[in-house]
Amino acid sequence: MNPTFETDRLLIRPWQPEQDAAPAFAIYGDPEVMHFIRPPEPSIAAVQQYLETIRTQYAALNNGTGSWAIIDKSIGEIVGGVLLKQLPDNNNNPTQDYEVGWHLRRTAWGQGYATEAGQVALTYGFDQLKLPVIYAVAIPENQASIRVMQRLRMQPGGRVFCYYNEELELYYLNAADFYFHRTSGN
């Protein structure tokens, strides 16, 4: 069972496919949001099917990884999604490398949601899952996502071609560095 998280501003909870399909379509059905990721979902029904599929997959893995809806509590709306999952290799098999990722609906860009939700996912990955390192990847042109990685104090790992069968910019954060900064408050 995946946990729910809360910050002052956000509720971050597992997707509920039936009730979330329409707001999730504003994210996963938007060609601009999906531009650097994959083709957009064609309909609300397709998004619901997608959310059901990933829910089943994460439940089967049962290793704490998952995909969550990000809700701004002040407006009571889903503004995006955040995930912590195993990176797939070039043949789409899960590796033992874990990635954090974020997707926001267009009207939610530029408000710090990805950084805030990403911080929650990193904290969960280190505190609860005891991961030694967490990665993030983006295609090199996706500067907004790379800026989020940098704001989260992730370190550049260079260009790699070992995940998703694509050349990607890799960032990583070691648990030791995460805890060092948390303790020092810097």
Ligand X SMILES: CC(C)(COP(=O)(O)OP(=O)(O)OC[C@H]1O[C@@H](n2cnc3c(N)ncnc32)[C@H](O)[C@@H]1OP(=O)(O)O)[C@@H](O)C(=O)NCCC(=O)NCCS
Binding site for ligand X (CB under 6 A): 33, 36-37, 101-104, 109-115, 138, 142-145, 147-148, 151
The answer to whether the beta carbons of residues 79 and 103 sit under 8 Å apart is no
Q: Show the tokens assigned to 111.
A: 């408000």
Q: Round to whole Å and give the CA distance between 178 and 163.
A: 24
Q: Show the tokens assigned to 1.
A: 């069972």
Closer CB to ligand X, 23 or 59, in the complex: 23
The answer to whether the beta carbons of residues 119 and 158 sit under 8 Å apart is no
Q: How far is the CB of 72 from ligand X (least distance, A)?
A: 12
Closer CB to ligand X, 48 or 169, in the complex: 169
The answer to whether the beta carbons of residues 119 and 134 sit under 8 Å apart is no
Closer CB to ligand X, 86 or 115, in the complex: 115
Q: How far is the CB of 64 from ligand X (least distance, A)?
A: 21
Q: How far is the CB of 157 from ligand X (least distance, A)?
A: 14
